[in-house]
């Protein structure tokens, strides 16, 4: 993968941020969307395939729609948006980490 990226002109190379490659035209601070399984061939991604930015954006959308939520409920509902029906230990840890800045 790294060798493939090296052949891209420097001003067009993707940048690695938080474990994900982003287009040189994308700024993670301005990325305000999240993709659900229905938008991506109905196949849910693994939690490792979902950038923190999308998880935070999904949580923000829930809060905007529902108002304040308990942190556990926010984690569960955010996970559901990405096609996860329950919070196992790995998923719960990822959600806790990514949503740590949200206050009840």
The per-residue pLDDT for range 23-82, each reduced to its tens digit, is 766 665 666 778 888 766 666 789 999 999 899 999 999 999 998 899 999 999 999 999
Torsion of CA 69, 70, 74, 80, to 10 degrees: -100
The domain spans of the chain are 25-98
At residue 27, the pLDDT reads: 61
pLDDT of residue 68: 87
Global pTM reads 0.74
Q: Given a cut of 80, is residue 84 above it in pLDDT? A: yes
pLDDT at 1 over 60: no
CA distance 47 to 24: 24
Q: Concatenate the DSSP letters of all residues of the chain into one string.
A: -HHHHHTS-GGG--EEETTEEE-TT--GGG------GGGTTTPPPPGGGS-HHHHHHHHHHHHHHH----HHHHHHHHHHHTT-SS--HHHHHHHHHHTTT---
């Amino acid at each position: 993968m790294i060798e493939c990226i090296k052949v891209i002109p420097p001003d067009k190379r993707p940048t690695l941020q938080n474990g994900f490659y982003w287009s040189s035209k994308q700024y993670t601070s301005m990325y305000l969307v999240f993709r659900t399984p229905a938008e991506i061939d109905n196949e849910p991604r693994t939690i490792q395939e979902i950038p923190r930015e999308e998880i935070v954006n999904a949580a923000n959308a829930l809060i905007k729609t529902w108002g304040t939520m308990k942190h556990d409920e926010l984690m569960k509902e955010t996970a559901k948006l990405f096609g996860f029906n329950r919070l196992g230990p790995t998923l719960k840890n990822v959600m806790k980490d990514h949503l740590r800045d949200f206050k009840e």
